[in-house]
Structure 1
C-alpha cells in the first residue's frame, strides 16, 4: 500500500547503545479542523491523508448526518468542510476537542457519548479460520506503520475475508473514521455483511462507531475494555479480542464465529 503524502517526516535520532546518529521516519501528527455548514465543531489530532473520509466518518458516528466533505472555500490548510443540512449541532453536548490517543476524553459522562444506533441485525456467520487471518492482512497493508512504527490501523473486510479498505492514523478512532467515511462514499453502509479489524485494543468508542455503521463483527489484535464488551453485548456486535497466533477470545455474540 502506498504511503500518503505528508504522512511521515524525518527527524534526527541517536541510537543506543553505540551513539550512532541518523535520520528516523516519524508519523506526522497535525490538527484537523472539521467545519459543518461553515461552523467549526471539532479539532482532532490526526495523520494527514484521507481527511475528507475522516471528517465524514467522524460526523456519521456523532449522528450529524453528513452528505459530503471537501476543502473549505478559503482553502485553509488542515481544514475540511462538511455539508450536513440536517445536522442539529445543538444535540452535541460537549466541546468537540479530541486527541489522537482517545476520542472519548473530555466527554463528561457516559450518556454524553450515546449516539443513536439500533441493535445490529445481521445473520452473518464467519469461520474462525477467516477471522484469524484479518490482523495479518491488515498488517500487510500498513505501509506507514512499516516506516514509522507509530500508527494505528483499521481495515474493512468482506464476509469472505477480502480487504476492502485500510486506513492508518496516529489516532485509533481516526483510522476507524477514515474507513467508515470511505464506506459512506462507496454506498456500503450499513455494513451488515462486513467485518472491521483494528490493530490495537477495543475501546468503547470503536465499538460505538461499529454500531453506528451497522457492522456485526469487530476484530482486534488487543484486548477489549469492560465498557466495550458491555456496549457490544447491548448492540449485538460480535467482539473478538487477542486475535493472533491462531487464537482469539470471542466476548459477545459468539454464534457468529464458526469453530
Structure 2
C-alpha cells in the first residue's frame, strides 16, 4: 500500500509542477476576485431588496399602476435571471464600456455581475416576504402602523433569516460568476486559471486557483449559516 501511495504521489508531482506557480500573481488574482465579489454583493443586496419589495407589494393588487409595475418588474427579473452569465457579460460589453470606460479588468465585470445576480436575489427576498405570517402584518396594521413602518418593523425583521440565507447563496453564485468573467479578461482567479493554467498548460495553477475559490465559498457558507442561526429565533 505504501508503494502505491508513493507511485500516486509521483504521478501527481509529475502532472502538477508547483514550481511554476507565481504566488504574487495568485495573491493579486485572489484579491481581485474578493474585490469583485464584495463590490457587487453590496449593490446586489440593495437592488435585490428593492426588487423583492416591489414584487411583494404589487403582486395581487387591483390598481392599474400596481399591475403594470408588477408586470414590468417581473418580466425584467425573469429575463435577466434566465440569461446565462457568460452570454450576458458579452451582451453588456458596450454598456460596460460606456459606464466604466473599459471592457476588461475587475471593474468591467461589475455591471454584468450586478445585473445577473440582483434579479435572482430579488426573487429570494420576495419569497422570504411571502413566508411571513399574515397575522403579524394584520396585527401591525390594527395597531395603526403605516406602510413604511410595516416594511422596516415587520417585513424586514421577520424575513431577515431568509434574506441573509438568500444573500449567502447569491454571494456564492457571484464567486462562480467572477471566475467565468475572468475568462474574457475581467481578472481574478478565473482569468489566472484560464490564461496561465489552461492556455499555458500549467495545471498546478488551475488547481491552486480552484482550491482558493473553494476555500472562499466554504468561508462564505460558514459565515452565512452562523449568521442565520443567530438571527433566527424560531
**TM-score under structure 1 length normalisation:** 0.25
Greater strand share, 1 or 2? 1
Task: Select the structure of larger CA radius of gyration.
Answer: 2
Q: Which has the higher contact order (CA 8 A, sep 6+)?
A: 2
Greater helix share, 1 or 2? 2
**TM-score under structure 2 length normalisation:** 0.27
